[in-house]
Structures are given as structure tokens and as C-alpha cells.
């Protein structure tokens, strides 16, 4: 098991109560709930940062589509879409 460290933070009592309720329902320790939430947040942010970097690399390499072209294609798709059925 990896070694652990203590990470302190301040939260509102409402947030603490929400964490405690989830911990109670899941029969887990508060620290497990918080660690799981932090892990998920870090993974989500890392994926977002990687996507932004890929986009920046694409833009720098000229792999982009002009806004006007995208809007024309969207207009075409909308124009060709079937009318919604009436209830």
C-alpha cells in the first residue's frame, strides 16, 4: 500500500455534512470519500488539460477548420434534418 500523507483543507459545514452522509450510506470513512472525490477531480482536470494541449498543438500545426466552414456545415445539417414529429 502506498504511504499516505495528511492533506488539510477548510470546507463549509454543509459540505462536511454531505461528505459525512455519503460516508454513512456507503459505510466508508470520511477520508475515503474525500480521497475518492479528489482522485476523480484530478483525473477530470488532467484529461481537460491534455485535451487543451492537443488543441493548441493542432492550432499551431494548422490543423483547424475555419469558423465559417463549421457554421455552413451546421446550417446544412439543420436544413436537411427531418421535421420533428408532432405529438
Is 5 within the bounds of a domain?
no
Q: List pLDDT tens digits, range 25-68.
A: 999 999 999 999 999 999 999 999 999 999 999 999 999 999 99
Is 86 within the bounds of a domain?
no
The predicted model scores a pTM of 0.73
The DSSP result for 24-80, as a single string, is HHHT--HHHHHHHHHHHHHHHHHHHHHHHHHHHHHHHTT----HHHHHHHHHHHHHH
Is 58 within the bounds of a domain?
yes
Give the three cell numbers for residue 12. 463549509
Domain of residue 29, residue span = 13-80
pLDDT of the residue at 41: 98
Is 6 within the bounds of a domain?
no
Amino acid at each position: 500500500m502506498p504511504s499516505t500523507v495528511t492533506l488539510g483543507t477548510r470546507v463549509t459545514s454543509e459540505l462536511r455534512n454531505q461528505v459525512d452522509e455519503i460516508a454513512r450510506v456507503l459505510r466508508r470513512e470520511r477520508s475515503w470519500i474525500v480521497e475518492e472525490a479528489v482522485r476523480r477531480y484530478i483525473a477530470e482536470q488532467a484529461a481537460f488539460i491534455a485535451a487543451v494541449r492537443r488543441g493548441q498543438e493542432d492550432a499551431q500545426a494548422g490543423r483547424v477548420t475555419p469558423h465559417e466552414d463549421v457554421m455552413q456545415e451546421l446550417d446544412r445539417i439543420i436544413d436537411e434534418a427531418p421535421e420533428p414529429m408532432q405529438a
